[in-house]
Amino acid sequence: MGGWALEIGKMALYMTFPVAMFHWFNQPEYFEKWVTDTRRQLYPPENPEHRAQIEKAIRNVRERHDNELMKALEEVEQKEQRGKV
């Protein structure tokens, strides 16, 4: 087959490759760049206009919900007053 020299060469490659990859990918500059880029992809910087639109939509939903609750409360009060009369 290959002999002992080939086996030693394969073993050296099997041991060197993971160590070299660990060393290469754990450099602080590379890691910091990767973390920064990934964070910007996942959590892009806020757009003030977009934030204002979200807050406006939240206010509209809350107002609509409050109006529905007020209507339901008024109906309950009217039913109670009719029952007392």
Q: Which domain holds residue 77?
A: 46-84
Nearest alpha carbon to residue 85 among 77, 39, 67: 77
Same domain, 8 and 39: yes
What one-letter code names the amino acid at 12? A
Same domain, 32 and 72: no
Same domain, 4 and 40: yes
Report residue 28 as tokens. Answer: 């602080």
**pTM more than 0.75:** no
Q: What is the pLDDT of residues 19-65, one digit of tens each?
A: 999 988 888 888 888 888 999 999 888 888 999 999 999 999 999 99
Same domain, 6 and 36: yes
Distance CA 68, CA 74 (A): 10
Tell me if residue 26 falls in helix, strand or coil.
coil
Distance CA 49, CA 26 (A): 39
Same domain, 41 and 1: yes
Number of residues in the chain: 85
